[in-house]
Amino acid sequence: MDTKQKTENYRQSAQRDRILEVLKTTNSHPTADWLYSQLKSEFPKLSPGTIYRNLGILQEMGKVKKIQYGSTFDRFEANLSDHYHLICESCNSITDINLPACKDILNKAEELSDFSINYHQIEFYGICISCRRAS
Amino acid sequence: MDTKQKTENYRQSAQRDRILEVLKTTNSHPTADWLYSQLKSEFPKLSPGTIYRNLGILQEMGKVKKIQYGSTFDRFEANLSDHYHLICESCNSITDINLPACKDILNKAEELSDFSINYHQIEFYGICISCRRAS
DNA sequence: GTCCGTGCAAAAGCTTTGCAGCCTT
DNA sequence: AAGGCTGCAAAGCTTTTGCACGGAC
């Protein structure tokens, strides 16, 4: 997300390791609160502050990305590959989709604007299959 | 944004009219707070609650769209035409860009997924020209 | 020994909501 | 007259921050 790389001395911490692991093994683009409740049993004294602080650090490290749309609260993912998002307007779930990155759009956008573009996102809003079945 | 259309009996209100007018005559994708400070002099007793309530109603009416990325707070726009957004990572400004809507991406996404897609968004993140000049 | 990370608690920031009175219809 | 809209204030929710203690290096 952010291009600046802090050159800090990060130490190891069990909590941070687990947050990243959990993020890596889920594809549900969890919220901070969900991560908190997942790890609370493992670290009984865990606090939300630790979750947020580590999510921030993991972003600085470039290991986690923040997703800011589709909800009133942030979601996070550890899938760093290029991909776009499908967002269900009914259940608010977020799904990854791999599309061939359309370079021509990027080029055209840079051409038409005064921006130097670093990256782009695409979100598709619709209804997912389980919500369609349910209705 | 939302597909459901409430069939409520909306009355006219000077505050709501002005909020929409101000949104229509600016291209800065303002926050609720900015709208509040803009209109405070015009309506000395204006309250933030009124801004938020009316922005919600204007969205129900389909006259305003909410933009949820690029900041920690929501932004709004009354530009209902198809367009994408350029977001400056330095000053957080949002600029509209008109690109030929790439239908093929939409089709491919629908093909590759189990979603029935209603609409999509694209955000380009980069550095705007005034920030580049400044640095 | 340093100083980073944690838990705890308080605070911050944006947004929503309850309520009584006013204004549109 | 009915009930949507407003201002005011309080509450709500997510996220951030200060501080003292414990742990990584």
For residue A77, what are the β-bridge partners? A65
User: Does B73 contact A at CB distance below 8 Å?
Assistant: no
pTM recorded for the entire structure: 0.86
User: Does A121 contact B at CB distance below 8 Å?
Assistant: yes
Domain count, chain A: 2
Distance in angstroms, CA of B90 to C1' of C4?
A: 29
Same domain, B58 and B20: yes
Average pLDDT over residues B15-26: 97
Task: Quote the domain boundaries for residue A11.
Answer: 3-77
Same domain, A71 and A90: no
Same domain, B69 and B102: no
Q: Which of B68, B105, B113 has its CB closest to that of A69?
A: B68
Same domain, A12 and A71: yes
Please report the pLDDT score of residue B73 as a whole number: 83
- Return the number of CB contacts < 8 Å for A and B: 115
Helix, strand and coil percent figures for chain B, each rounded to 5:
35, 20, 45
Distance in angstroms, CA of B37 to C1' of D7?
A: 16
Pairwise CA distance, residues B37 & B44, whole Å: 10
pLDDT digits (tens, 9 = 90+) for A25-47: 998 999 999 999 999 999 999 99
- Please name which of B58, B71, B84, B51 lies closest in space to residue B1, comparing C-alpha atoms: B58
Domain containing residue A19: CATH number:
1.10.10.10
Same domain, B45 and B21: yes
Same domain, B34 and B73: yes
pLDDT digits (tens, 9 = 90+) for B53-101: 999 999 999 999 999 886 778 899 989 888 999 999 888 889 999 888 7
- Indicate if the pLDDT at residue A2 is higher than 50: no
Same domain, A38 and A23: yes
Same domain, B68 and B42: yes
Same domain, B73 and B18: yes
Please report the pLDDT score of residue A126 as a whole number: 93
Q: Which residue of B has its CA nearest to A124?
A: B120
